[in-house]
Amino acid sequence: MFSTQKFLSSLAKRQFKRLLYYPSAGNRHGFVTDFNADVIVFSDFRPKSLRTRRSFWRQFRQGAQHEIRLIVATPIARVFQIDRRKWGVFLFMDNNEAVRLIHKSGLRISTFIGVCDGCAEGGNYECVNEMPFFGKILDLMPETGMNYITDHSPYVLDGWERPRNVDNSFVLKNNGYKTSLMNDSVPGFRNRAYEFTIKKQYMMNEVKDPVPHPR
């Protein structure tokens, strides 16, 4: 039987290294399949039945600007090719389950989208841009660093959609992460979205008093 996790593991062992992950993706962001990555993973737990998953997927696919070839449909996922060169996976599950699956696959997250995740309205019980969830994403960041697109964040924005002086971002900074603002209006999203790069600046043994991620 097809296993989504084994499939992702097989990609991790091949040349498909750059993973983009968008949790709480909804079905209106098919355009994200255009973004620069080798593998693009989405998760959303909204459609619960096989029938609602079918129509959710149809809507999602309509938003894609490029050729989407459905390769495998399982009760919990759609695996597809984008323009015959990138892979996409839509996971109909809780974001935490999706992160576990990515972790087990051995892939690292080189782009993370934390936009309109339902933490204010939309049924999310935690914010994807805050610890503990965001800490799990940072743990999966490759050595080369991560692109981070967000519309709200207590660490790199001043709440919703307002940039903050990133030097004040003590939780990230004290743990050795350096953030830089790259783009202050990423097109396509309903809310104003910002793109940052996050890099691990130095090894943890050089940090005097690291503030642990509150988990």
Ligand X SMILES: C[S@@+](CC[C@H](N)C(=O)[O-])C[C@H]1O[C@@H](n2cnc3c(N)ncnc32)[C@H](O)[C@@H]1O
Contact status: 118 vs ligand X (CB under 6 A):
yes
3 state SS for 101-147: HHHHHCCCEEEEEECCCCCCCCCCCCCCCCCCHHHHHHHCCCCCCEE
By CB under 6 A, name the one of 33, 43, 150, 169 that touches ligand X: 43
The residue among 45 and 196 lying less far from ligand X, judged by its C-beta, is 45
Q: Which residues between 62 and 101 bind ligand X (CB under 6 A)?
A: 94-95
Residue 43 DSSP code: E
Helix or strand (DSSP H, E) at 154: none
By CB under 6 A, name the one of 26, 30, 88, 114 that touches ligand X: 26
150-to-34, 66, 104, 187, 196 alpha-carbon distances in Å: 17, 24, 25, 12, 8
Phi, psi of 96 (to 5 degrees): -65, -35
Contact status: 44 vs ligand X (CB under 6 A):
yes
Contact status: 169 vs ligand X (CB under 6 A):
no
Three-point CA angle 32, 108, 122, nearest 5°: 50
Contact status: 116 vs ligand X (CB under 6 A):
yes
Nearest distance from C-beta of residue 138 to ligand X, angstroms: 18
Contact status: 213 vs ligand X (CB under 6 A):
no
Tokens of 129: 């841009």
CA distance 19 to 204: 25
Residue 212 DSSP code: P
The residue among 159 and 204 lying less far from ligand X, judged by its C-beta, is 159
The residue among 19 and 149 lying less far from ligand X, judged by its C-beta, is 149
Segment interacting with ligand X (CB under 6 A) among 19-27, 32-40, 58-66, 163-171: 19-27
By CB under 6 A, name the one of 14, 75, 84, 123 that touches ligand X: 123
Contact status: 147 vs ligand X (CB under 6 A):
no
The contact set with ligand X (CB under 6 A) reads: 24-26, 28, 43-46, 94-95, 115-118, 122-124, 190
